[in-house]
Amino acid sequence: MDPDRESSLEHRGAGDATPQPPPRAGDRPAAVPPRPSSGGTAGRPPAARVPRETRLDSYVDRYATRTHGMAASEIRALFSVASRPEVVSLAGGMPNISGLPLDVVGDLVHTLVLGHGGHAMQYSSGQGEPRLREQICEVMRLEGVEAHPDDVVVTVGSQQAVDLVTRLFCDPGDVVLCEAPSYVGALGVFRAYECEVVHVEMDDDGLRPDALRQALQAIADAGRRAKFLYTIPNYHNPAGVSLSTPRRAEVLEICREADLLVLEDNPYGLLGFTDEPFRALRADDPERVLYLGSFSKTFAPGLRVGWAVAPHAVREKLVLAQESATLCPPTFSQAVVSAYLAGHDWRGQIKAFREMYRERRDAMLESLEDLMPPGTTWTVPQGGFYVWLTLPEGLDAKAMLPRAVTERVAFVPGTAFYADGFGSQCMRLSYCHPTPERIREGVRRLAAVIEQEMQLRETFGAGRASLPTYDTPNPDLT
Ligand SMILES: Cc1ncc(COP(=O)(O)O)c(C=O)c1O
């Protein structure tokens, strides 16, 4: 465990400057004090008059307010159909680990368990294994980040890092800035902590600095303050675009002016199709940027190893949050990643992944070019897993999904990536998993569905606009 842990128990919440006397045995209150009224029950369904035993969920009147914001995706049921082999799924964002040398991983796990099982099977540091943290610094150097292993906190995937950071910074109602669209898993976290998401427009060069300025101004005009900007600068999920180099400096400058913390989520940064990776935002402003990384896309998502690199004071809080969430990140997974990085050509493996994904990206772009009806547009990713497609005027991706699944092709409707119901004319297409041939077939089916929808629209006029949806992440959506 982190030696800082004991002493930092003295830290209290920001703004709580009142010295508290140590509790004495007789201090325990006689009854549970009432909840402060600001805690509220807004959004909570009224206690039902239906007898508890006949309710579908007999705990419905006991959940915390935030729990009522958690809803399963409306499109989840469709995804269970979409996972059938006859359906070409352009929906799932799961990394394609078919190229991983499983024999190498098997051998290293064998050696690890026999040689160091006593350690690998044990609890360990809440901050993460020191050797792995050193190796993480080496990985990040490829993107210009110079960090000390002490600044790194290992997490259960970068998903947990998003959760811990939000837990540290956000009270219910706090404003978080996100790109429009944004990663569904992060939106799920922000919703769980009852944050208010303000989306900031992007274009082909990523986040638009003018839109960021406008959003900050509007927040300030409302007498409020954003807690952080959550951004995916490289090979964006779901938009497929990257923040251009000149914009990186501009976005950082705006954040500096507004004294805004930046949460840089970068799981795809090393999966670019050009030679040099982008320079991380953190590389140019380590005091303002909290960086999140992951081995899910460059090694294996099943190990659930990610990390956060934070300004020093935040790093200490992150370790405390990590300890209260999990005690420590999984020692075994960390040991596997560490042994893999030490004993295997991981750079060569990343190169192999990049080539595999580039071939699939090319197959998707070529078939979109060949087959999509006029009026359809899409982004051209230079890395990562995703293309963001905009349908011809008036078409609704979510309304189209059941028909597409019937025609044996699946995608994720754009509304899943907005907190405010926008995105109905868009969809995310993933090229990471299917073979190039299957991608072509999937795009052919999708193009036919879009054409049918256009004809229907011509014949019967506009359909109903889709309602806002709030999708919780699942492996198909990541
Ligand atoms: C942008 C982004 N952030 C975070 C994650 C979570 O990754 P991890 O497996 O490291 O938790 C994903 C997964 O798809 C992602 O796309």
- Is any atom of ligand 1 closer than 6 Å to the C-beta of 478? yes
The CB of 93 under 6 Å from ligand 1? The reply is yes
Which of 32-41, 177-186, 457-466 is predicted most confidently? 177-186
CA of 156 to the centre of ligand 1 (A): 11
Neighbouring CB atoms inside 10 A of 194's CB total 17
Other Cβ atoms within 10 Å of 73 Cβ, number: 21
Residue 197 has pLDDT above 50, yes or no: yes
SS3 content of the chain, % helix, strand, coil (to 5): 45, 15, 45
Percent of the chain whose predicted confidence (pLDDT) is above 70? 83
- pLDDT above 50: residue 60: yes
CA-to-CA distance for 184 and 473, rounded, in angstroms?
Answer: 6
Inter-CA distances, 250 with 210, 226, 246, 256, 466, Å: 10, 18, 7, 10, 35
Pocket of ligand 1 contains residue 298 by CB under 6 Å: no
Instruction: Report the amino acid identity of residue 150.
Output: D
Give the pair of three-digit tokens for residue 245: 């180099």
Distance 253 CA to ligand 1 centre (A): 26
In 3-state terms, what secondary structure has residue 390? Answer: strand
> Is the predicted pLDDT of residue 13 greater than 50, yes or no?
no
Question: What does CATH list as the number for 69-96+348-458?
Answer: 3.90.1150.10
Q: What is the pLDDT of residues 395-414, one digit of tens each?
A: 999 999 999 999 999 999 99
Phi (first) and psi of residue 50, to 5 degrees: -65, 135
Q: Does 334 sit in the ligand 1 pocket, CB within 6 Å?
A: no
pLDDT tens figures, 200-248 = 999 999 999 999 999 999 999 999 999 999 999 999 999 999 999 999 9
Pairing of strands 226-231, 175-180: parallel
Q: Span 367-381, mean pLDDT?
A: 98
CB contact set of 90 (below 8 Å; sequence gap of 6+)? 364, 409, 410, 411, 429, 430, 431, 434, 439, 442, 443, 446
| Confidence (pLDDT) at 53 | 62
pTM comes to 0.87
DSSP state of 423: -
Cβ contact 393:56 at 8 Å: no
Task: For ligand 1, say whether the CB of 384 is within 6 Å of any of its atoms.
Answer: no
Using most ligand atoms within 8 A of CB, pick from 182, 242, 294 the residue to mutate for ligand 1. Answer: 294
Give the ligand 1 atom nearest the CA of 305. 10
User: Ligand 1 atom closest to Cα of 306?
Assistant: 10
pLDDT at 82: 72
pLDDT at 61: 86
- For range 51-56, the mean pLDDT: 66
pLDDT bracket for residue 465 (50, 70, 90): very low
Instruction: Specify the pLDDT at position 457.
Output: 86
Determine contact, residues 413/82, Cβ cutoff 8 Å: no
CA distance 406 to 413: 16
**Pocket lining: 181 vs ligand 1, CB cutoff 6 Å:** no
Q: Phi, psi at residue 210, to the nearest 5°?
A: -65, -35
Pick from 178, 265, 268 the residue to mutate for probing ligand 1's pocket: most ligand atoms within 8 Å of its CB: 265
Residue 430 beta carbon below 6 angstroms from any ligand 1 atom: no
Tell how far CA 295 is from the center of its chain. Answer: 13
Q: Convert the pLDDT of each residue in 94-150 to its tens digit.
A: 899 988 999 999 999 999 999 999 999 999 999 999 999 999 999 999 999 999 999
**33-53 as b/e: b if 16+ CB within 10 A:** eeeeeeeeeeebeeeeeeeee
User: At 342, phi and psi to the nearest 5?
Assistant: -75, -35
Instruction: Compute the distance from residue 469 Cα to the ligand 1 centre, in Å.
Output: 20
Which residues of the chain form CATH 3.40.640.10? 123-343
Q: What does the pLDDT read at residue 40? A: 38
Residues 6+ apart with CB under 8 A from 435: 360
Distance between Cα 268 and ligand 1 center (Å) = 9
Please provide the average confidence, as pLDDT, over all residues in the chain: 87
- Looking at residue 54, its pLDDT comes to 64
| Residue-level pLDDT at 468 | 39
Nearest protein CA to atom 8 of ligand 1, as residue: 157
Of the pLDDT bands very low, low, confident and very high (cuts 50, 70, 90), residue 77 is: low
Q: Where in the chain is the domain with CATH 3.90.1150.10?
A: 69-96+348-458
- Please compute Rg for the chain using Cα positions: 24
The residue-averaged pLDDT of 18-37 equals 38
pLDDT higher for 350 or 42? 350
pLDDT of residue 47: 47
**Band of the pLDDT at 51, cuts 50, 70, 90?**
low
CA distances to 138, 155, 233, 331 from 132, rounded to whole Å, are: 10, 12, 25, 10
Mutate to test the pocket of ligand 1, among 96, 163, 231, 237 (most ligand atoms within 8 A of CB): 237
Q: CB of 158 closer than 6 A to ligand 1? A: yes
Q: At what angle do helices 436-460 and 346-371 cross, to 10 degrees?
A: 30
Residue 469 in this model has a pLDDT that exceeds 60: no
Please tell me the distance between residue 241's alpha carbon and the centre of ligand 1 in angstroms.
Answer: 16
**What value does the mean pLDDT take over residues 363-388?**
98
Whether the bond between 468 and the residue before it is cis, its omega within 30 degrees of 0, is: no
Which one is the CATH code of 123-343: 3.40.50.360, 3.30.200.20, 3.40.50.150, 3.40.640.10?
Answer: 3.40.640.10
Q: How far is the CA of 267 from the centre of ligand 1 (A)?
A: 6
CA nearest ligand 1 atom 6, residue: 159
